[in-house]
């Protein structure tokens, strides 16, 4: 999505510089094929010494990114939110497509008959890793 000015906001010079740094960090990662979350962008700014690592600073960056988007200075798609997913009903053009789709959903329980069952839980979604092991 292009940068579109939805709201006219007068930023202080310090805020404009931070917006420039946010865009720079995001563009560096996009060039490598990555999408950053707000938290990841924040920690990149902290790691580079641009902002302090505290709760207030995190909230300020979140507000600044939101305002920067509204002012057309930050692309809406440049920061991703992995906790919000689009949900919709599945649709098919004909019954044959439903059957083809079901074929890919059919899986045997690989834990069935195993002496142990293992689960791995992580606190933060940004460090979760989903892996399908095909045996």
pTM: 0.63
Provide the residue-wise pLDDT of the chain in tens; the chain has 135 residues.
Answer: 678 899 999 999 999 999 999 999 999 999 998 889 999 999 999 999 999 999 999 999 999 999 999 999 999 989 988 776 667 788 889 999 989 888 888 888 888 999 998 887 766 655 554 443 333
C-alpha 21/C-alpha 64 separation (Å) is 12
Helix residue spans in 32-83 (DSSP H):
38-47, 55-70
Instruction: Label the pairing between strands 36-37 and 79-80.
Output: parallel
């Amino acid at each position: 999505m292009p940068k579109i000015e939805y709201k006219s906001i007068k930023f202080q010079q310090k805020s404009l510089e931070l917006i420039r740094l946010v865009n720079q960090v995001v563009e560096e990662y996009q060039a490598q094929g990555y999408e950053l979350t707000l938290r990841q962008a924040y920690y990149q700014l902290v790691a580079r010494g641009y902002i302090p690592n505290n709760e207030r600073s995190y909230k300020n960056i979140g507000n600044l990114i939101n305002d920067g988007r509204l002012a057309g200075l930050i692309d809406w798609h440049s920061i991703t939110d992995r906790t919000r997913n689009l949900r919709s009903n599945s649709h098919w053009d004909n019954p044959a497509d439903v059957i083809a789709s079901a074929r890919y959903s059919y899986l045997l329980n690989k834990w069935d008959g195993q002496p142990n069952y293992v689960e791995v839980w992580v606190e933060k979604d940004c460090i979760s890793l989903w892996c399908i092991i095909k045996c």
